[in-house]
Chain A
Amino acid sequence: MEQVLFSVRLSFQVALIATVFSVVFGCAFAYLLARRNFRGKELVDVVLTLPLVLPPTVTGYILLVLFGSRGLLGGYIYSLTGYTLMFTWQAAVLCSFIVSLPLMIKTARAAFESVDEKLLQASYIMGYSELHTFFHILLPLSRRGLYAGAILAFARALGEFGATLMLAGNIEGKTDTMPLAIYADVAGGNWDRAWGMVLLFTLISGVFLYAANKLAGKQRWV
């Protein structure tokens, strides 16, 4: 039971932090994609959306090559600081962030694009900066879509499995988030405990999806 509680707590901790990153970076990327034109824009969109459709093992492998203690970025960090993301819960945050980011970007982009262009132009004409307009006009007007995006991103972050298994490992009491603990319990024949977590997980995800639908559904009429 104690281990179940640990997994639940770790899962929420990981998913919450990942969602914060996803919301911040997701809004920034969505803004650029929705309101700016630049070379390679479609490429950026494709690269950022890939984790949504790639098998988690592929995402995991790419992250391993990048962030492993001898990876392209990870090796650099390791030689400088002696710190490696590998086999830590922070690695789980990174994986959850990468896979939930596209959901946030997609929803935020759609929300930004649905805001009436005239309102933004009015703000510029009144002399407000782009940054001011972003925080005081665009964000408030697209908040429902952003809430929905954040909830979807959270639900996806909570369920991240494949890449996490490769980077964070499945270390009992250290990196075993709910999906990893369920995997180990099912494969290890510990079905009773698995059942409890499966039910809990399905229930939580269902509630979050319902909330996201509610928020996104209303936005169309705003």
Chain B
Amino acid sequence: MNTKRDIRLIAALAMLAAVIAGACAPAAAPAKTEVMVFAAMSLKQPFSQAAPLFEAENPGAILQFNYSGSGTLAAQIESGASADVFASAGMKEMNLLAEKGLIDSDTRRNFAVNSLVLVAPLDHNEILHGFSGLALPQVRRIAVGDSRLAPVGLYAIEVFKYYGIADNVSAKLIPCPQVAQVCDYTARGEVDAGVVYLTDYIARKSGLALIEQAPAAAHSQIEYPAAVIKNSVNKDYANRFVRFLCSEKCAKILSGYGFKTMAAGN
């Protein structure tokens, strides 16, 4: 009796799992070429908006995205991940891959420029009026990108040096693997301030107060390069996507999220 009931229970659970898997599976689509784009986290929203435009122009291609910190992505590509395009939030990671001969250097283009802002929790930002205020003793924790993993952390340190507060704030820093985490800790009030890209602030906004935008002179230019990966199997589409990133159409979307673009030059 009992074993029969057990078997029925297990069968029911298995069916439940199968139904969930089935319900969530995408509808069968005609075979298209998948173009795998490894993109910095900060590009998530504009890229998701731009993807249908590219796919409409290139009916044979379907874009797949892997978003993460640029350092993480570069490490994944280095270890042989099958990517077609790399869109980085910093030159350092792209240069690293170029040095190792992992990208087609002649396809490399800079397609966007970002800037850095100081944010604070929306309901707790009375004391903070700008970057120099981070040295105040009332500011106890500052979330920044982990400089080992996400370039946004390196730019933040440059800004701290520009204001002469690098030593003062170094003990207050909470390094985060991704910039989204900086926004999250700040919005939750777990930290008193955070340093993020302007685009992240624009994309997220809720719970965040914009305190100050860092002057362009305070940090090296935050350029976003994209390139085709050397061992890509879809070089044609990968190339087209990199060129698409520099197009007027894509620039319009990017600037909607706070990026400066170079479309005019291209």
Q: Give the B-binding residues of A (Cβ under 8 A).
A: 64, 68-70, 84, 86-87, 165, 169-172, 183-190
> A191 → chain B, closest Cβ, in Å?
8
Interface of B with A (CB < 8 Å)?
A: 69, 71-72, 74-75, 78, 96, 141, 146, 148-149, 173-177, 188-190
A187 and B147 CA atoms in complex are apart in Å by 11
Contacting pair A186 B75 (CB below 8 A):
yes
Query: 6 tightest A-B contacts by CB?
Result: A188-B148, A187-B72, A187-B149, A70-B189, A86-B190, A184-B148
Chain A residue nearest to B181 in the complex (CB):
A166
Return chain B residues, CB-CB under 8 Å to A169: 174-176
Q: List 7 A-B contacts (CB under 8 A).
A: A87-B190, A169-B176, A170-B177, A184-B146, A184-B149, A187-B177, A188-B148
Decide if the interface of chain B is mainly helix, strand, loop or mixed: mixed
**Which residues on B sit within 8 Å (CB–CB) of A87?**
141, 174, 190
11 further interface pairs, Cβ-Cβ under 8 Å (given A68-B188, A70-B188, A169-B175): A64-B188, A69-B189, A70-B189, A87-B174, A170-B175, A171-B174, A171-B175, A184-B146, A186-B75, A188-B148, A189-B78
Task: Chain A residues near B148: list those with CB within 8 A.
Answer: 184-185, 187-188, 190
Q: How far is the CB of B225 from the nearest CB of chain A, in Å?
A: 17
Q: Collect the chain A residues with CB atoms within 8 Å of residue B174's CB.
A: 87, 169, 171
Chain A residues, CB < 8 A from B175 = 169-172
Cα–Cα, bound, A69→B192 (Å): 11
Residues of B within 8 A of A84 (CB): 190
Contact B71 A70 (CB under 8 A): no
- Within the assembled complex, what's the spacing in Å between the Cα atoms of A69 and B174? 15
List the A residue with the shortest CB-CB distance to B73: A187
Report B-chain residues with C-beta under 8 Å of the C-beta of A172: 175
- Is B75 in contact with A187, judged by CB distance below 8 angstroms? yes
Which listed residue (B69, B173, B176, B189) contacts A187, Cβ 8 A? B69
Write the nearest CB–CB distance from A141 to chain B, whole angstroms.
29
B188 proximity list for chain A (CB < 8 A): 64, 68, 70
Q: What A residues does B75 contact at CB under 8 A?
A: 186-189
Decide if B190 touches A70 in the complex (CB within 8 Å).
yes
- Alpha-carbon distance between A70 and B78 when the two chains are bound, in angstroms: 40
**Chain B contacts for A165, CB-based, 8 A:** 177
Say yes or no: A68-B190 contact (C-beta < 8 A), given A187-B149, A189-B75: yes
B71 lies within 8 A of A187 (CB): yes
> Which A residues lie within 8 Å of B190 (CB)?
68-70, 84, 86-87
Chain B residues with CB under 8 A of A68: 188, 190
Which of chain A's residues have a CB closer than 8 A to the CB of B189? 69-70
Distance A190 CA – B71 CA, assembled complex (angstroms): 11
